[in-house]
Amino acid sequence: MAASTSEVAPPTATPASNDYAPSFFTPAEWAFLNAACARLIPNDDNGPGAVELGVPQFIDRQMGTPWAEGALWYMQGPFLEAKAEFGYQSALTPKQQYRLGIKAIDEAVQAATGKPFAALPPTEQDAWLKRIEKGEVKSDALSLKSFFGSFLLKNTMEGAFGDPLYGGNKDMAAWKMIGHPGVRADYLEFVAEAKPYPYGPVSLHGKRG
């Protein structure tokens, strides 16, 4: 009964390559997604950012899974307004969240600045994302606060810190940044030690970093 989440495309040799063509997102959406990801996890001295890690590609690939169709969730109506403690009460699937959420943000930014989100300078992009995170940017179509916290930010972290199998975390760079050894995972001889683990990470495909 459990819909499989493993039905994703096999990894390419260079997961975060520039020549990736999105299969779900439109050019305008893709521009937004890349711009937003670059602010959520910026490229800096601590390591590559979300774009360099391949996170937009990860999110695009996730749009082809049963999860993105809401197939695993209880999606029968009526859908009523409820406090956050009652959890997700929207009729929108993750795919619809991205489609409507990106459109609503770009429209709000366009109306205020005359430009789409992706065309703003990084400091202004950060200010918009902070306002969206706090629920200060409203849309009739959906809760942008929920879109930001439950989808855009959450999926960005999944892509960055998940296995490269899914298209993000290129070269396991996010794992290297924090000191996580991936799926190496036999620590019998190390667990009682109070010193740094000596080996670099391994991915599900057996690649070593």
Partner 1 sequence: MTRRLKEVDAVLVGMGWTGSIMARELSRAGLSVVGLERGQDRKPADAFALPGIRDELRYALRQELMLDPAVQTVTLRHDDSQIAQPVRRFGSFLPGDGVGGMGTHWNGQTYRFLPSDHKLRSHLSQRYGAKAIPEDMMIADWPIGYDELEGHYARFEALCGISGKAGNIRGEIQEGGNPFEGWRSGEYPNKPLKSSQGGVLFAAAAKSLGYHPFPSPAANASNPYTNPEGVKLGGCQYCGHCERFGCEADAKASPQTTLLPVLAKDPRVEIRDLAYVSKLNYDRKAKRITSVTYVDLRTGEELEQPAGLVILSAWVFGNTHLMLHSGIGTAYDAKTGKGTVGRNYCYQINSGAQLFLENEELNPFMGTGALGMVIDDFNGDNFDHSGLGFFGGGYVTLNTLGARPISFRPVPPGTPAWGKEWKAATAKWYRHGATISVQGSNYASRGNHLDLDPTYRDPLGRPLLRMTYNFTDNDRKMSAFVTGKAAEIAKAMGAQHVGVRARSGDFDVVPYQTSHNTGGTPMGSDPHTSVVNRYLQSWDAHNLFVLGSSVFPQNAGYNPTGAVGALAYWAADAIVGKYLKNPSALIPA
Question: Does 47 help bind partner 1 (rule: CB under 8 A)?
Answer: yes
Q: Does 161 bind partner 1 (CB under 8 A)?
A: yes
Candidates 22, 28, 42, 139: give the one binding partner 1 (CB under 8 A): 42
Amino acid in position 10? P
Asked if 21 touches partner 1 (CB under 8 A), the answer is no
By CB under 8 A, residue 191 contacts partner 1: yes
Q: Which of 153, 164, 170, 173 binds partner 1 (CB under 8 A)?
A: 153
Based on the shown chain and the rule CB under 8 A, indicate whether residue 6 belongs to the binding site for partner 1: yes
Under rule CB under 8 A, residue 194 binds partner 1: yes
Q: Does 93 bind partner 1 (CB under 8 A)?
A: no
Q: Which is nearer to partner 1, 107 or 126 (CB)?
A: 126
Separation between Cα atoms, residue 132 and residue 107, nearest integer Å? 13
Q: Judged by CB under 8 A, which of 78, 114, 121, 198 binds partner 1?
A: 78
CA separation (Å) from 126 to 19, 86, 160?
27, 29, 19
Stretches 19-27, 96-104, 136-144, 156-164: which one binds partner 1 (CB under 8 A)?
156-164
Which residues make beta-bridge pairs with 208?
202
**Angle made by CA atoms 72, 74, 78, in degrees to the nearest 5:** 150
Candidates 20, 100, 116, 133: give the one binding partner 1 (CB under 8 A).
133
- For residues 81 and 140, which CB has a smaller minimum distance to partner 1 in the complex? 81
Residues that bind partner 1 (CB under 8 A): 1-6, 39-42, 44, 46-47, 65, 67, 71-76, 78, 80, 82-89, 126, 129, 133, 153, 156-158, 161-163, 165-166, 174-175, 177-181, 183, 185-188, 190-197, 204, 206
